[in-house]
Each structure stands twice: as C-alpha cells, then as structure tokens.
Structure 1
C-alpha cells in the first residue's frame, strides 16, 4: 500500500465523517440535552460501532478479492463515484440538522452502548464501507496489512469526529441550532467531498 493511497483514504474519510447522519444526530442529541460529559462515551461507542461495521465489510471484500478481480474493480469505480454522490447530497442538504435534545439522565455505559448499536447495526454503514473501501485497496498488496492500517486510521478519525461534534453541540448550541451556519458547513463539506470524489475517480482509474 502506497502513502498516496493512505493519504487519499484519510482525506476522503475525514470529509465523509463530517456528513450528519444517524450517528452524528445521536451524538448531537445527547450533547444538546446533557452537555459535554457525553463526548467521551459517545465517541467510544461510535468508534466501536464503526469497528464492527468496517471489520465485517473488510472481511467480505477480502473474500471478494480472492474470488473475482473483475467485480472488485467494478466496486472500486462505484466507491469513487459514491463520493461524488455524497458530496452533491450534502450540498443540497442546506441547513438541515434535525437533532432533538435528550433530556433524560443516561449513564455513560448506556450512552456508549446506544452509540455502538446505532453505528454498527445501521445497514448503510456496511453498504458504505463495501462501496467506499475498494477504491483504496491494492489487490497486489497484503490484504490484512491494509485492513489494519485503514481500520486504525478510520477509527481514530471517527472517534475525533464524534468527540468534536459532542463538544461543539454542548458549547455552541446557538451555532448548531442555526440553519444558516449548518448550511455553510454542509455546502463547504459538500464541495470538498465532490473534489475528493473526482480525485478518487482518477486514483481508482490509475490503479485499474
């Protein structure tokens, strides 16, 4: 695995994690209702959930790589184009961030478990990883090494993203509740994501 592949994966993953989905909305909901104390257990739960979904996806991709190089190449292109689709979707989302504060007192362990379940059991998570990861995998390199590096990288980013969302939501509630602010964030992220998708298409094409 080349440094360029890892750098492209890291950049694309960081942008993708910023997209407000079910996991982010859950983190923000707890943070709005119960403050900064939710940051650590929610971030750990999200990281564990992504570890579960990503491991299952990677094992499936490893089996696919061993049986059908052609289908694996197709998935690489699908994953690259998927980034462009997500970027356009994020741009069009505008100021939408529907998060209802969770006021009921919840233990750290329960918050962690809730975050893990929402992240790991969301069917979109595994679908996302199956479509996204092949664009960065090198069929000629050792699969388990790539799996370990990509998972470790993504989990660090996922933890930092969830932790950051929780802190921002707990300390800047007016910002999170302002549709105009969220629209600026979404459109900036959407534009960057489309750019990452185009770069990934080129990267996937050069490795085909």
Structure 2
C-alpha cells in the first residue's frame, strides 16, 4: 500500500490506541489485581470484541448506527451502564487487591469481562467504518491494504494493552502499603464512572 498513508495510519493509531479509555483502564486494573500474565485472558476478550465490532462495521452496521440516533444511543447507554457497574465493583472492593468475583480466579471469566468492555463502546464500529477507509488508496488493490491496516491496528492495540497491564502489575507492590489498595480501587471506580458517564453523554 501507499507507504506514506501507512506511516500516517501507524502514527495516528498509536496515539488513539494509547489514549486511556475503557479497554486500557480495564487492563491497568486487571494487571494490578491479577498480574500481567493473567490479564492476557482479558486482552484476548477485548481483542475478540474489537474484531466483532470491526466485522459488524464491514457488514454495514456502522452505516445503520450513524443513521439511527435511537439505536446508537441505546447501545451507548447499555455500554455506559456496564462500565458504571464495573466501577461499583471496584468501589466495593475496598482493601481487597482482587475482586471477590469469578474473574479473580478463572481465565474464561476475565475473557468475558474484556469482551464485554470492548463491546460496550459502539463508537468502535464507526471508527472502523469512518476512520480506516481514509487510509485506503483506491488506485491499489484494496483487500491487501485492508489486511495491512487491520494487522497494524491489532498489533498496536495489543501492544498498548500489554503495556497497561504490565504497568498495573508494577503497581501491585506499591499497593501493598496501608490504605493504597483502597485508594487504587476507589480511583479505578471513579475512572470507570467518568468514562461510563462520558460515553453516555458523548454526541454521536
């Protein structure tokens, strides 16, 4: 594909993916609670969710969402409520380093949480439908370009999620201090609340 378009895509995607959002916040939280290796299951769920959203965009769902304000807002509210639910869980964790929940012990449960959080933001469908096509050169074979862009996107996304999980894991020893775990859990809870409310109030 056009090398200049690809480099611009890499730079833009690097900063977009690295911006703290629901997925990255979840990886930071799980990395601190369960370790970065255990958080790989969470990352797997998030990547699966993003793959589903991009697939839906390819099927034309993005066009439907962009034209139906009611449907888009309904999905947005559902996603926001789930993020707020995670915030409530984190707030109630108190002095516990781990949630008293199945995902603390079972990889499939962590996978499902990652999947649910990734699916909670319908804007990812519009991202795939509106952002990615801007880097396609119509004068070159399109299937190859799509493959390159998607592989690049997922590699960058996985790298950032691993970085956030590793960063959270590095916080674990610091969190052993008195009162710090409660502070971390409450901070994560407030962050989930802010992201959830922000998602609900964000314009289409």
TM-score range, shorter chain: 0.5 to 0.7
Query: What is the CA-CA distance between 1:102 and the residue it aligns to?
Result: 4.8
Aligned to 1:12: 12
Aligned to 1:30: 30
Query: What is the CA-CA distance between 1:133 and the residue it aligns to?
Result: 1.2
Q: Deviations over 1:88-128 (max 9, x none)?
A: xxxxxxxxxx8946523231122122212221342121122
Aligned to 2:121: 122
What is the alpha-carbon distance in structure 2 between the residues aligned to residue 31 and residue 58 of structure 1? 32
Aligned to 2:99: 103
Cα 1:20–1:57 shift into 2, 3 Å: same
What is the alpha-carbon distance in structure 2 between the residues aligned to residue 38 and residue 13 of structure 1? 26
Q: Deviations over 1:146-168 (max 9, x none)?
A: 22111111111111111110011
Q: Does 1:160 align with 2:159?
A: yes
Give SS of 1:154's match.
helix
What is the alpha-carbon distance in structure 2 between the residues aligned to residue 56 and residue 4 of structure 1? 28
Query: What is the CA-CA distance between 1:18 and the residue it aligns to?
Result: 0.8
Aligned to 1:85: none
Aligned residues: 143
What is the alpha-carbon distance in structure 1 between the residues aligned to residue 124 and residue 105 of structure 2? 25
For the 8 Å contact 1:58–1:147, the answer to whether it is kept is no
Q: Does 1:142 align with 2:138?
A: no
For the 8 Å contact 2:32–2:171, the answer to whether it is kept is no
Cα 1:123–1:172 shift into 2, 3 Å: same
Cα 1:139–1:126 shift into 2, 3 Å: same
**Greater shift in the superposed pair: 143-152 or 34-43:** 34-43
Please give the TM-score of this superposition, normalised by the length of structure 2. Answer: 0.60
What is the alpha-carbon distance in structure 1 between the residues aligned to residue 60 and residue 139 of structure 2? 17
Cα 1:35–1:43 shift into 2, 3 Å: same
Give SS of 1:103's match.
coil
For the 8 Å contact 1:53–1:120, the answer to whether it is kept is yes
Cα 1:60–1:10 shift into 2, 3 Å: farther
Give SS of 2:35's match.
helix
Give SS of 1:20's match.
coil
Give SS of 2:139's match.
coil
Aligned to 1:112: 111
RMSD value, Cα: 2.9
